[in-house]
Amino acid sequence: MSMQPIITISNLSKTYASGFQALKRVSLDIRRGEIFALLGPNGAGKTTLISTVCGIVKPTEGSVLVAGHDIVADYRAARSMIGLVPQELTTDAFESVWATVSFSRGLFGKSKNAAHIEEVLKALSLWDKKDNKLMTLSGGMKRRVLIAKALSHEPTILFLDEPTAGVDVELRRDMWQLVRSLQERGVTIILTTHYIDEAEEMADRIGVISKGEIILVDDKAELMRKLGKKQLALQLETPLERIPPELVAYNLDLASDGSELIYTYDAQGERSGILALLQDLNGAGIRFKDLQTTQSSLEDIFVSLVSKKK
Amino acid sequence: MNIHAVRAIYRFEMARTWRTLMQSIISPVISTSLYFVVFGAAIGSRIPESQGISYGAFIVPGLIMLSLLTQSISNASFGIYFPKFTGTIYELLSAPVSYLEIVVSYVGAAATKSIILGLIILATAGLFVPLQVAHPWWMILFLVLTSVTFSLFGFIIGIWADGFEKLQVIPLLVITPLTFLGGSFYSIDILPPFWRTLALFNPVVYLISGFRWSFYGMADVSVGVSLAMTLGFLALFMAIVAWIFKTGYRLKA
Ligand SMILES: Nc1ncnc2c1ncn2[C@@H]1O[C@H](COP(=O)(O)OP(=O)(O)OP(=O)(O)O)[C@@H](O)[C@H]1O
Ligand SMILES: [Mg+2]
C-alpha cells in the first residue's frame, strides 16, 4: 500500500446557509488503496464531508484534491474517479434496475458496457431483479442498487455513507466481502458507519469526527493499542468482602458480589504489573480458580473519545 | 464534452415522456381538439372569414403556441424539479458533467417533447380545418425556438421551485392568461387602440404573431420584431441559467 494520499483535504470548512458550521477546518489524507472508516455521532458532519468531496455541497473554505485534481477547478477529472453510495435511499421509482445502473455509467462519461453492468449486478445478487422497477424492491435491495450505480462506472474511489444501515446480517456480511474484494482490486474505500464492530472488522484506518472537527485519525491497530485498556479478571475461590489493604495500590475492582477481582492496566505499558499482582495475591492468601484478559473494543474507545469532547 | 452523460440524461428524460405518454402528449392533444370543436366549429362558423382565412384556421397557430408554452415549461420544470424532490439529484451533482451539459440535455429533451407535441397538434388541427403553411421554414424556426426558449424558462422554474405548487403557479397565473390575451383567439388589431397598445406589452403577442405569420402571411407585428423578441427571451433565460449555475442557487447546499 503506497503512502501517497489519493485524497487530500486541507482546511475544509462548511457553513450552511442557515449559518450552521458543519465542518471546521478539516484536514485529512486518504491513502491510496485503503479502507478508511469515518466514525462520529449523528450530526457530526460525516455526510457533509463526503458530500463536499463529491461535489454535492459547496465548500465554504479550504480545498480538496483527488489524485491531484482540485474538486472545483478540475471537477471532471476528480469526479470521474469517485463512486458515491449516499446515506439516503433515493431512487427513481419507475426505472428498472438495469436502466438506472446503465444511466449512472453514462452519466459518468463511460461508454456502454453491458458485460460490466452484468458483473456488478451479479456481484450484488441483483441479476434476477434487473428488469424490476425500483419501487418494487425492498430497502436492502435498493441499497444494493445504489451500490451498483456507484460501481457501474468503475470508480477508483468509493464512498459508502452508512452502507449497512438497515441491512440484515447476511447482507452485511456480503457487503463486507464486496468491500474487501474491491480493495483487492485497488479501489480506495471510505465508509461511515455507526456500527463500531464494522469499522473494527473492515478498516485499515479510522477517523473520528465530532461537531465538525476531526478529533482523531489513526491506524486501527495502532489506535486500539494506544488507547486500548486491558483487563484481567480473576474468579476467586472465596468471595471477598472488600479489597485487602496490601492490594490497594493496584486499583482493583470487586465484581460479581465479591467473587471476581478486576485489574485494569495499560496494554501498551512496558510492565503490566500482572506478575507483581499475582505474587501479592498469593501473599494475601487470595486464591483464584480462573482468569481471563480482555481488551477494550473500538466501541469503548469511541464512546470515551466522543464523550470527552462534550 | 461528456457526450455519454448528455445522451444518458436525454434518453432518461425521453423515457419518462413515453412512460407518461398520456399526460405528456395525449392530454394536450385532446384539449386542443376540444378548442377546435368549441371555437373552430361551433363558434367559428358564426365568425366571418378574414383575409380568406376561416376562424378555425386562424386560431391554429395560437393554439399550438399555447400548448408549446405551457408544455415546454411544465415538462422542463418537472424534469429538473423531480430529482430535487426525490433526492436523486445527488447523482447529477456528483457526476463529471458541466452545467452546460446538464442544461443541454434537460432542455433538449423537454424541447424535443414540445416540438413533437406541436407537430401532433398541427396534424390534429388538419383534421378539423384546412391548413396552409406559407413559410414552412419560418414555422419550424419559431416552433423550435419557442420550445427551446420556454423549456429553458421551465428549467429555471424547476430549480426555483421548492414545492409542487410553485411548479404550477407561473404556467397557471402568468403564461396561460398572457397566451389567452396574447391573440390566440383574435388578432389584436380588432382591439380598441388603448387595449392594443397595452397588448403590445404582452410578450406572447409577438410569439403568436410571428408564428401565425409563418402560416398565413399575416401578422399583428412585423415578423422581424417577433423573431427578435423570441431571441431576446432566449438570451434572457440563458443569462438567468448561467447565473444559477454560477452561484449554485438552490442546487447545492
Ligand atoms: N442543508 C443543510 N442545511 C443546514 N444544516 C445542515 C444541512 N445539512 C446538514 N446540516 C447540519 O450539519 C450537521 C452535520 O450533518 P451531517 O449530515 O453531515 O451529519 P452526519 O455526521 O452525516 O450525521 P448522521 O450520522 O446522522 O448521518 C448537522 O447538524 C445537520 O443538521
Ligand atoms: Mg450522515
> Tell me, what DSSP letter sits at residue B88?
T
Residues 92-111 on B with a CB inside 8 Å of A are 92-98
The position carrying cell 486500548 is A228
Q: What is the pLDDT of residue A1?
A: 47
- Which of the residues in chain A have pLDDT under 50? 1
Contact between chains at B93 and A58 (C-beta distance less than 8 A) = no
User: What CATH number is attached to the domain comprising A276?
Assistant: 3.30.70
Ligand 1 centre to CA of A20 (Å) is 9
Residues A21 and A49 in one domain: yes
Question: What DSSP element (H or E) covers A293?
Answer: strand A288-295
Of A178, A202, A225, the position where a domain reaches its end is: A225
Residues A253 and A178 in one domain: no
C-alpha span between A78 and A69 (Å, rounded): 5
User: What CATH number is attached to the domain comprising A82?
Assistant: 3.40.50.300
Residues A117 and A65 in one domain: yes
Number of domains in chain A: 2
Q: What is the pLDDT of residue A26?
A: 97
The position carrying cell 501479592 is A280
Q: What is the pLDDT of residue A269?
A: 65
CA angle, residues B146, B151, B155, in degrees to nearest 5: 150
The position carrying cell 479478571 is A233
| Residues, chain B | 253
User: Closest residue (by CA) to atom 12 of ligand 1?
Assistant: A22
Of A175, A209, A225, the position where a domain reaches its end is: A225
Rg, C-alpha atoms of chain B: 19
Q: What is the pLDDT of residue A271?
A: 67
pLDDT tens profile B69-94: 989 999 999 999 999 999 999 999 99
The position carrying cell 498469593 is A282
What is the pTM assigned to this prediction? 0.85
Residues A178 and A264 in one domain: no
User: Closest residue (by CA) to atom 2 of ligand 1?
Assistant: A16
Average pLDDT over every residue of B15-26: 81
Residues A150 and A15 in one domain: yes
Residues A106 and A255 in one domain: no
Query: In this structure, which long-range contacts are made by residues A116-121, counting pairs with CB atoms below 8 Å and at least 24 apart in sequence?
Result: A116/A152, A116/A154, A117/A148, A117/A152, A120/A148, A120/A151, A120/A152, A121/A97, A121/A148
> What nine digits make up the cell of B229?
423578441
pLDDT tens profile B182-241: 888 888 888 888 888 888 888 899 999 999 999 999 888 899 999 999 999 999 999 999
Q: How would you classify the pairing of strands A157-161 and A188-192? A: parallel
Residues A221 and A261 in one domain: no
Q: What is the pLDDT of residue A255?
A: 83
Question: What DSSP element (H or E) covers A98?
Answer: helix A97-107
Rg, C-alpha atoms of chain A: 24
Query: Distances in Å between the alpha carbon of A201 and those of A167, A195, A293?
Result: 17, 10, 20
What are the residue ranges of helices labelled H in A138-273?
139-151, 169-184, 196-202, 220-227
Q: Which of A8, A60, A29, A25 is nearest to A204 (CA)?
A: A29
Q: Which of A67, A59, A84, A58 is nearest to A29 (CA)?
A: A67
Residue B28 pLDDT > 90: no
Residues A275 and A298 in one domain: yes
Domain that holds residue A303: 229-309
Most A CBs within 10 A among B10, B23, B91, B97, hence the mutation to make, goes to: B91
Chain A residues whose C-beta sits inside 8 Å of any chain B C-beta: 16-17, 51, 54-58, 75-80, 82, 84, 86, 88, 90-95, 99, 102-111, 149
Of A203, A225, A247, the position where a domain reaches its end is: A225
User: Closest residue (by CA) to atom 18 of ligand 1?
Assistant: A45
Question: Among the ranges A89-93, B33-37, B70-74, B168-172, which has the highest mean pLDDT value?
Answer: B70-74
Q: What is the pLDDT of residue B141?
A: 96
Residues A195 and A284 in one domain: no
All residues of chain B having their beta carbon less than 8 Å from the beta carbon of residue A108 are 4-5, 95-96
Residues A162 and A255 in one domain: no
Q: Is A134 exposed, middle or buried (0-12, 13-18, 19+ CB in 10 A)?
A: buried
Query: Distances in Å between the alpha carbon of B234 and those of A150, B142, B229, B230, B239?
Result: 36, 12, 9, 6, 9
> What nine digits make up the cell of A22?
458543519
Residue B104 pLDDT > 80: yes
Query: CB-CB: which of A79, A95, A105 is closest to B94?
Result: A79
C-alpha span between A145 and A128 (Å, rounded): 12
Residues A237 and A146 in one domain: no
pLDDT tens profile B120-164: 999 988 888 888 899 999 999 999 999 999 999 999 999 999 888
C-alpha span between A107 and A99 (Å, rounded): 12
User: Closest residue (by CA) to atom 22 of ligand 1?
Assistant: A47
Which of A15, A23, A24, A46 has most ligand 1 atoms within 8 Å of its beta carbon, as the pocket-test mutant? A46
Residues A158 and A186 in one domain: yes
Average pLDDT over every residue of B43-64: 81
